[in-house]
Amino acid sequence: MKRDPEAFLKDDMTELRKNNLEWIIRYLEGGSKPHCIVNGKEVLMLNTNNYLGLATHPKIIQASIDATKKYGAGAGAVPVIAGSFDLTREFQEKFAKYKEVEASLLCQTGFAVNSGLIPMLVGKPDIVVSDELNHGSIIDGVRLSGAKRVIYKHRDISDLEKQLKEAEKGGARRICIITDGVFSMDGDMAPLDKIVNVAEDFGAMIFVDDCHGEGVLGDGKGIVAHFNLQGKVHVEGGSMSKGFGVFGGTVAGSKDLIEFCTNKSRTYLLSTAHPPGVVAANIASIEVVENEPQHVKAVWEHTNYFKKEVQSMGYDTGRSETPIIPLIIGDPGKAQELARILFEEENIYGTPIVFPMVARELSRIRVQMNALLTKEDLNMALGSIEKVGKKLDII
């Protein structure tokens, strides 16, 4: 019998659908705003990483247009050959100053930062001590490194210290602690101040992925600024694609770190550089966050109000302490159904988060606040979430 080399594709998808684990992709027909057209339907969007609403900010859009007219649509090469422009240098200098570090680097994506830099920082003679709920890109980066990976319980400093003591006994060449700054599925923060205190006793390197903290925490500067730890965290990985509303991954730290990354990270070295219009938009985004503090203020006002209201209804929001507010349902089928009814009947776009992004029994709707939402938007959404939640016996 002749083998069908693609049969497993359909079989796997059938299994996913049967278990309510399929991801449904919907398509925006305009900018990423709270009120937008998705699949031909006007909806209220509650599921974007665009926390400050900067993806459609006129100053940022204009910067992109102007740079595209001057420099063209594409970079033409990887950064180290001919893909870096004077705009790139300007961004990196401005971002380093903003983050209060010596230097920074604009990389292709946040995922590329983790999968490209981690395998260069550590290898087989080393040990990585990693939070159990770290992002998949961190997990992939550590696997690629070949370093021994030790998991510590989520945000558990006593367990972290225990694992560090064991790592030190093992005679590792280097010990590297890696953690998300803000955990993207639960909206809780790493206790970075306590991590730093423990790490210093062991001479461990600290790598924090702050993709969901930048633009939101520390007046926009991220979790390191939130805890006043500038100079004590060795590697800050980040993203211009979320709070800053544009695109790209970042690394911030010492000049030595940035020179090392520039010469060693394969994802940085072997991927085409950003289009000049994107780099210019990133520059403008930093300027907007610095000069217009009302965006950060608004997203936190919305966060505090919305979270209080859904909790009073009986929704489980887990450990959330940021604009990421999970409505933890449990059963993936109910999470999918809640999202479907909200979209089809209530005109609210929320995404069900299911395995493998979270454990099957912790399926949820992940709501994310946006500075451009109004009190009327929030109240409308809250009314629908309460109505449908009761209909499905979730609350």
Q: Residues 129, 163: contact at Cβ < 8 Å? A: yes
- How does DSSP assign 233-271, residue by residue? -SEEEEESSSTTSS--EEEEE-HHHHHHHHHH-HHHHTS
The Cα–Cα gap between 389 and 395 comes to 6
Q: Is 306 helix (H, G, I), strand (E, B) or coil?
A: helix
Out of 99, 212, 221, 226, pick the active-site residue.
212
Can 226 be counted among the known catalytic residues?
no
Reading the block at residue 117, the tokens are: 């830099």
Write phi, then psi, for 189 (nearest 5 degrees). Answer: -110, 150
Can 295 be counted among the known catalytic residues?
no
Out of 33, 242, 302, 307, pick the active-site residue.
242
Sheet with 103-107, strands from edge to edge, namely: 103-107, 249-253, 235-239, 205-209, 175-180, 127-131, 148-152
Sheet with 363-368, strands from edge to edge, namely: 324-330, 363-368, 351-353
The Cα–Cα gap between 165 and 235 comes to 22
Q: No. of H helices and E strands in the chain?
A: 14, 13
The Cα–Cα gap between 337 and 346 comes to 13
Out of 84, 184, 239, 320, pick the active-site residue.
184
- How does DSSP assign 159-193, residue by residue? HHHHHHHHHHHTT-S-EEEEEESB-TTT--B--HH
Instruction: Name the amino acid, one letter, at 203.
Output: G
Q: Residues 170, 127: contact at Cβ < 8 Å? A: yes
Which residues are marked as active site? 184, 212, 242
